[in-house]
């Protein structure tokens, strides 16, 4: 059932990248380079999430939190989102699914400055 929730994320990533989704070394981790800059990538992802009927629950700016602690981190943001109409039936079937919900997508600038999207 979690596979059906991954499809909307893959669609959003394809919209940003203009290409297909590729898998990283970890079989459960999918990463795609964005064709847009960091801020635009985050903005487009949030808009696409909402457009597809999910709700952005929170956005965690890890780089900003690092700066507040006197540390440096390249742009790194997690977008947390969900759709109770899809998530609730999963949790009704297996309540421990709640540890994986709401869904999250990570946007980061890698060492070369390229913007990556992973989930």
The CATH number of residue 101's host domain is 3.30.310.70
Residue 91 is encoded by which pair of tokens? 């949790």
Name the pTM for this structure: 0.78
Task: Say whether pLDDT at 42 is over 80.
Answer: yes
What's the total number of domains in the chain? Answer: 1
pLDDT digits over 52-90, tens only?
999 999 999 999 999 999 999 999 999 999 999 999 999
Task: Give the range of the structural domain holding residue 114, as residue numbers without chain letter.
Answer: 2-118
- Measured between alpha carbons, how far is residue 24 from residues 95, 111, 115 in Å? 29, 16, 15
> How many Å apart are CA 18 and CA 73, to the nearest integer?
27
């Amino acid at each position: 059932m979690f596979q059906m929730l991954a499809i909307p994320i893959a669609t959003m990533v394809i919209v940003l990248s203009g290409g297909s989704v590729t898998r990283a070394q970890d079989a459960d981790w999918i990463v795609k380079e964005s064709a847009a800059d960091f801020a635009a990538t985050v903005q487009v992802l949030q808009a696409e999430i909402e457009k597809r009927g999910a709700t952005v629950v929170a956005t965690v700016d890890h780089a900003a939190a690092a700066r507040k602690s006197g540390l440096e981190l390249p742009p790194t943001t997690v977008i947390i989102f969900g759709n109770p109409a899809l998530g609730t039936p999963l949790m009704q079937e297996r309540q421990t699914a709640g540890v994986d919900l709401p869904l999250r997508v990570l946007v980061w600038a890698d060492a070369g400055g390229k913007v990556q999207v992973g989930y």
